[in-house]
Amino acid sequence: MSDKTIIPFPSRDGDVADLLHVQKPDKAFCRHQRVELDEKNRTIECGDCGTLLEPFDWALRWADKLSRENQQVIQMRKERASLLKSLEVLRLEERNTKARLKRARESAREAAFTQQEVTFAKAQLRQFMEGEA
């Protein structure tokens, strides 16, 4: 192998900063949520970090966001309609249950009244039987 094709790495004592320079932003991460539109210069600048934004990229990002939010609204409306149907079914079941309960109470009252009549009739029959004896 030829020595010309081998690139030596810098030694530990060598200065690596000359070979590679990484520039880190002051802020860790900015989502550019607050923007300032400059109508005169036709620029978009982030109100948080001050970065000049690419207008098309910014518009595309916000259009995607609006599209996702629109899909969420559509899904929420479908879910709301489904919940309203379920609510109507529950209201109907509640109404029917209340009616059954009312009928059961009336039936219980009638049964109690009938039981009282039977008890009263038995007492009168006893009195009658005792009076003849």
Inter-residue contact 30 to 19 (CB < 8 Å): no
| Residue 4 pLDDT greater than 60, yes or no | yes
**pLDDT band with cut points at 50, 70 and 90 for residue 78:** very high
**pLDDT band with cut points at 50, 70 and 90 for residue 68:** very high
What's the pLDDT score for residue 2? 55
Mean pLDDT across 113-123? 81
Q: How far is CA 116 from the centre of its chain?
A: 57
DSSP string, the chain: --TTSPPPPPPTTS-GGGT---PPPSSS-----SEEEETTTTEEEETTT-PEEPHHHHHHHHHHHHHHHHHHHHHHHHHHHHHHHHHHHHHHHHHHHHHHHHHHHHHHHHHHHHHHHHHHHHHHHHHHHHHH-
> Between the CA of residue 120 and those of 101, 107, 113, 131, what are the distances in Å?
28, 20, 10, 16
How far apart (Å, rounded) are the C-alpha atoms in residues 1 and 7? 13
| Residue 18 pLDDT greater than 80, yes or no | no
